[in-house]
Amino acid sequence: MSRAKIAALILIPLLIVLASLFLGPRSINPLALDGVEREILLNIRLPRVLVAFLMGAALGASGAVLQGVLRNPLADPYILGISSGASLTAALGIIGGLTFLGAFTVPVLAFIGALATGSIVGVMGWKRGGLWPERLLLAGVGLSFLFSALLMLMMSISTDEGLRRAMLWIFGDLSLSEWKRVPYGLGFVLAGIVLSATRAKALNALILGDEFAYSLGFAPHRERFILFVSVGLMTAASVSLGGMIGFIGLLMPHIMRFFIGSDSRMLIPASALGGGALLCIADLISRSLLPPMELPAGVITAIIGAPYFLYLLRRKDVLSI
Amino acid sequence: MKNLLFILLLSVVLPCSVSASEAASGPRRIVSLSPSTTEILYAMGLGDRIVGVTNYCDYPEEAKRKPKIGGMSNPSLEAVVTLKPDIVVLTKDGNPKEFEELLHSLRIRTVVFFSRRVSELPGGIRQLGSALQAEEGAEKLAGKIERDLQRLEAASRRASGASRQKVLFIVWPEPLIVAGPGTAIDDAITLLGDRNIAASAASTYPKYSLEEAIRQAPDVIAIGKGSGMDMVEVSRGLISRMTSVPAVRYNKVCYLGDGLYRLGPRIVPGIEELAQCLERKSPR
């Protein structure tokens, strides 16, 4: 990979982060800050941009890992049911008005829901001493249906007001980003990215088949398990930071493959950077389109990302996982 | 045996049909499809004619004991039909339009309560009154609300020449959902002579930018009641992030009831409660 590409991969997301920090319906000039603007910049925008970047990065990286682990270009972090499990427990907290952990109640509930679902999928996908891609996929899809149905059930018996709040959360809500959420988000997402990036060579081998990986000296089941855990951590952290964001986990890895190829060693960090940058842009747009009203960022990611993806799809002629 | 059963049946049916034909005037069996119309019907003195209400009709106390027909946006057609209503009262915003058409196709009469704004309330009540042939009760209620509103406006800050305060009415703190333009709450703030900072938003209950809420520096923050939730607890996080705005700095944050959420007779006490909140003097 050329040096120019690496520079672009780092510089473009950095510029986007800076833009979403200072631009908006009202842009902030960092050289002439008054008291209110400093407060807005440091206590509202900065944590928000960081949370957006972390969420997007987690989704991009987990997408890249999962498509390889499951050997399926349609896999995304949400296909394992992790997000529907998280949505279910989060909606329980939102509609039920639970506040036992203060502002952390809903994120913690979502995280527990996500981890519990991930573990159930793991148990379901486990047979003869290891995880099997097809089993994981089917278990995830099955659980997704179950949890979505339970979520619908809960929403149909809730008040209209509780329903709207739950919907806003499920569609991805970055307005709740506070500094308090950054450290644990950073911890889990970074741990997931580092863990999966260190196993990237094994992932490359796994994509080509278990026998092949074995002959290269990797233990397929063990590698798959580690990668699965890293995806679970990243997705759970992302969902609990701000709900569900569509598109990034499924299509950011594909967009990156168009540019840098499918070597997981590069693909995982690149998808993380791209995912974080895309969510930052989407959030900037969602704040700026109809001020002072905010739109759900998760809707914007797909509206700007999908056409770009389709354009690339039309232009490139080689496709791979 | 068969005869006995027939007589038994007749003795059950007959008294009902007699009382129905005795009906002096107007529909005897009313189903109300929103909490606000339920409150209006009670205040018009039609409480004993109501045979069905929504699951959310919780005021006055008697309303809770009426048969339930489901939610506002998803009422059960079967439940409504089973109650054999002479007329069904709907609202323009809260109930699905298709539901009214379904009722018509079953030849059930309906009346739509059209009011959305405070100023439209008396007119809406009178219109309900004429559809239900209860003009007298409706006129009494509408007239009283009109007089109360005039009194409140006359006593308002604008009338006393005070400068307009900037008000933010929070419906839910996280995510921040506020009362925007076109709501009874916005009307109430204006009527009292102050200014709703969210009046320029694009929808009635927008998800509002926290950044903008801080920039606008509201003088007063009013927080509405959420169903069965401790709003002080729920709002703590938001308030702690807004410490720089005057409302928080000078402790002009108040927690209100649900009067302003329902465009009905309790809108007057609701406005009075808001007026008290807006009047509270800030410490110098």
**Residue-level pLDDT at B140:** 96
| Chain A residue numbers touching B210 (CB-CB < 8 A) | 44, 175
Could you read off the pLDDT of A228-240 as tens digits, one per residue? 999 999 998 998 8
Q: Given an 8 Å threshold on Cβ–Cβ distance, is B227 in contact with A161? A: yes
- How does the average pLDDT of chain A come out, rounded? 89
**Sign of the Cα pseudo-torsion (A129, A133, A138, A141, in order):** positive
Domain that holds residue B178: 159-279
Distances (CA, A) of A183 to A87, A239, B40: 22, 15, 52
Instruction: For chain A, give the longest Cα–Cα distance.
Output: 64
**Residue-level pLDDT at A157:** 80
With respect to residue B5, please indicate whether it lies within any of the assigned structural domains.
no
Least confident piece of the model among A241-250, B16-25, B176-185: B16-25
The number of distinct structural domains making up chain B is: 2
> Which of B73, B172, B207 shows the shortest C-beta gap to A293?
B207
| Chain A residue numbers touching B174 (CB-CB < 8 A) | 103, 175-176
**Residue-level pLDDT at B84:** 95
With respect to residue B10, please indicate whether it lies within any of the assigned structural domains.
no
Question: Does residue B122 sit in the same domain as residue B43?
Answer: yes
B214 reaches A (C-beta below 8 A):
yes
Q: Got the DSSP string for chain B?
A: -HHHHHHHHHHHHHHHHHHHHT--SS-S-EEE-SHHHHHHHHHTT-GGGEEEB-TT---SGGGGGSPB-B-SSSB-HHHHHHT--SEEEEETTTS-HHHHHHHHHTT-EEEEE---SGGGHHHHHHHHHHHTT-HHHHHHHHHHHHHHHHHHHHTSTTTTTPPPPEEEEEEETTTTEE--TTSHHHHHHHHTT-EETTTTSSSSS-BB-HHHHHHH--SEEEEPPPTT--HHHHHHHHHHH-TTSHHHHTT-EEE--SGGGS-STTHHHHHHHHHHHHHPPPP-
Answer with the residue of higher pLDDT: A156 or B173. B173
Q: Given an 8 Å threshold on Cβ–Cβ distance, is A102 in contact with B237? A: yes
Question: Last residue of some domain: B129, B152, B175?
Answer: B152
Could you read off the pLDDT of A110-137 as tens digits, one per residue? 999 999 999 999 999 998 888 888 899 9
Could you read off the pLDDT of A164-199 as tens digits, one per residue? 788 888 888 898 888 988 998 999 999 999 999 999
pLDDT bucket at B239, cuts 50 / 70 / 90: very high
* ipTM beyond cut 0.90: no
Report the alpha-carbon distance of residue A59 to residue A235 in Å, rounded. 6
**Residue-level pLDDT at A231:** 92
Q: Say whether pLDDT at B18 is over 80.
A: no
CATH number at residue B271: 3.40.50.1980
Question: Does residue B163 sit in the same domain as residue B265?
Answer: yes
Whole-model pTM?
A: 0.85
With respect to residue B269, please indicate whether it lies within any of the assigned structural domains.
yes
**Residue-level pLDDT at B93:** 83
Could you read off the pLDDT of A79-105 as tens digits, one per residue? 888 888 988 998 888 887 777 777 788
H-run or E-run covering A130: strand A130-131
Distance to chain A for B105, nearest Cα, Å: 26
Candidates A152, A84, A90, A150; CA nearest to A120 is: A84
Q: Say whether pLDDT at B21 is over 60.
A: no
| Chain A residue numbers touching B230 (CB-CB < 8 A) | 99
Report the alpha-carbon distance of residue A188 to residue A58 in Å, rounded. 9
With respect to residue B7, please indicate whether it lies within any of the assigned structural domains.
no
- How does the average pLDDT of chain B come out, rounded? 88
Contact B42, B62 (CB under 8 A): yes
**Residue-level pLDDT at A34:** 86
Question: Does residue B146 sit in the same domain as residue B176?
Answer: no
Beta carbon pairs, A and B, within 8 Å: 92
Domains and CATH numbers, chain A: 3-25+44-315 (1.10.3470.10)
Six-digit token string for A55: 């969420």
Distance to chain A for B212, nearest Cα, Å: 6
Question: Does residue B189 sit in the same domain as residue B67?
Answer: no
